């Protein structure tokens, strides 16, 4: 059973009369009256990170992916809570010191503060992060409008290459190896965009599971479809060179998750504002497609106008 089928079947009814839960169909809890925004995520070894050989990097990845849920809603994260389950082998003094140092760095970088949590013994390593922010409004999922443009920040696919390198499935020179692994452990969170997103975005989500999978989540309760332009999907020069050298198709490397870029829709009239903000903040923002009516099937199109198939639309938790 897919995680969203599980939520719909067993838990959605429990939130039916609580409007702040957003029907369990968004990244966050939002109490508009109190301007309170909360998200929670759990990370398990083997599913969300391969191992604990680099605890200082694993914790950075976890923190960044957690606050990304708030950032993509147009909310600045302020507080976080962390719970960890582990044992003497994982929670050694050395590992805990490295974790603490990384958390200090992340707190300084993103202006967040640790406010509590829990620790428990377990032979299975796991972390849960609760992120808290304050805002009078958020950018919701499922608020896209017909003919909206579709945008994404940054580049896609680098993290996936980093994962494959760590899994020893890709061999590459040391310089590129370090580049891609860094992108995997230290995703680029667009924190500066949080204050601006409400000015132009109609709907938004962060890309955690994959471009196509997350795009479909963003539209899942609307009678709308999308058209994505393959050549406009942004990738780094390093990934572009790697794909060219190996004669690989770009489409198979841009929807595998762990990018944590902001995916959003906006009305065409907002294009100038978006361009100006992109330049002001120094954030790459690419227009990659448009929202179309439900009468038209969602598709990915190349510059010749040909419809393309994508092998992997994203990561899915199965139960």
pLDDT at 22 over 90: no
Q: What is the pLDDT of residues 34-69, one digit of tens each?
A: 999 999 999 999 888 888 999 999 999 999 999 999
The domain in which residue 59 lies consists of: 3-134
Is pLDDT above 80 for 315?
A: no
Same domain membership, residue 77 and residue 27? yes
H-type alpha helices, 23-126: 55-71, 93-110
Between CA 253 and CA 235 the distance in angstroms is 9
pLDDT tens-digit readout, 224-278? 999 999 999 999 999 999 999 999 999 999 999 899 999 999 999 999 999 999 9
- The residue from 108, 134, 160 where one domain ends is 134
* Residue 21 pLDDT > 80: no
Residue 143 resides in a domain: no
Task: Let me know whether 114 and 221 are in one domain.
Answer: no
- What was the pLDDT predicted at 47? 80
Residues 57 and 158 in one domain: no
Q: Are residues 206 and 301 in the same domain?
A: yes
Flag whether 141 is in a domain. no
Closest CA to 291 of 319, 310, 263: 263
- Confirm whether 315 is domain-assigned: no
CATH of the domain at 194: 3.90.650.10
CA distance 170 to 283: 29
Q: Residue 25: count other Cβ atoms within 10 Å of its Cβ.
A: 17
Q: How many CB atoms within 10 Å of residue 63?
A: 26
Average pLDDT, the chain: 92
| Same domain, residue pair 288 and 157 | yes
Residues 154 and 302 in one domain: yes
Predicted confidence at residue 308, as pLDDT, reads: 84
- Asked if the structure places residue 75 within a domain, the reply is yes
Maximum alpha-carbon separation in the chain: 59
Q: Is residue 314 part of a domain?
A: no
| Domain's final residue, options 134, 169, 202 | 134
Q: Can you give the pTM of this predicted structure? A: 0.93
**Residue ranges with strand state E in the chain:** 29-31, 36-44, 77-86, 113-121, 126-134, 149-153, 203-206, 224-229, 262-266, 285-293, 299-301, 307-308
165 and 303 in a single domain? The answer is: yes
Judged against a pLDDT cut of 60, whether residue 319 lies above it is answered with no
Looking up residue 48, the CATH number of its domain turns out to be 3.30.1330.10
Question: For position 297, what pLDDT does the model report?
Answer: 86
Quick check: is 142 in a domain?
Answer: no
- For residue 33, tell me if it sits in a domain: yes
- Is the pLDDT at 24 greater than 70? The verdict is no
Asked, for residue 144, whether it belongs to a domain, the answer is no
| Domains of the chain: total | 2
Partners of 226 in beta bridges = 291
Pick from 104, 134, 164: which residue ends a domain? 134
Examine the pLDDT at 203 and tell me if it is beyond 80. Answer: yes
């Amino acid at each position: 059973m897919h995680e969203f089928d599980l939520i719909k079947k067993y838990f959605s009814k429990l939130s039916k009369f609580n409007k702040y839960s957003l029907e369990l169909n968004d990244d966050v809890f939002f109490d508009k009256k109190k301007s309170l925004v909360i998200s929670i995520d759990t990370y398990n070894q083997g599913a969300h990170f391969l191992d604990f050989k680099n605890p200082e990097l694993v914790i950075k990845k976890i923190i960044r992916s957690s606050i990304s849920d708030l950032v993509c809603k147009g909310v600045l994260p302020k507080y976080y809570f962390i719970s960890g389950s582990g044992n003497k082998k994982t929670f050694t003094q050395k590992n805990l010191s490295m974790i603490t140092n990384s958390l200090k760095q992340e707190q300084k970088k993103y202006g967040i503060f640790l406010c509590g949590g829990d620790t428990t013994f377990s032979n299975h390593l796991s972390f849960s992060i609760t992120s808290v922010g304050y805002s009078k409004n958020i950018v919701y999922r499922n608020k896209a409008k017909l003919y909206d443009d579709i945008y994404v920040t940054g580049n896609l696919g680098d993290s996936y290459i980093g994962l494959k390198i760590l899994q020893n499935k890709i061999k590459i020179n040391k310089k590129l190896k370090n580049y891609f692994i860094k992108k995997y452990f230290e995703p680029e969170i667009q924190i500066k965009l949080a204050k601006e997103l409400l000015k132009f975005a109609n709907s938004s989500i962060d890309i955690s599971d994959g471009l196509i999978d997350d795009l479909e989540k963003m539209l899942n309760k609307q009678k709308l479809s999308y058209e994505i332009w393959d050549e406009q999907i942004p990738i780094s020069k390093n990934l572009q060179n790697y794909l060219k050298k190996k004669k690989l198709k770009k489409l198979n490397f841009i929807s595998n998750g762990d990018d944590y870029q902001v995916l959003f829709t906006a009305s065409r009239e907002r294009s100038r504002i978006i361009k100006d903000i992109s330049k002001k903040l120094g954030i790459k923002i690419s227009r990659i497609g448009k929202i179309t009516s439900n009468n038209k099937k969602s598709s990915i199109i190349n510059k010749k106008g040909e419809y393309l198939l994508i092998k992997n639309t994203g990561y899915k938790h199965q139960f």
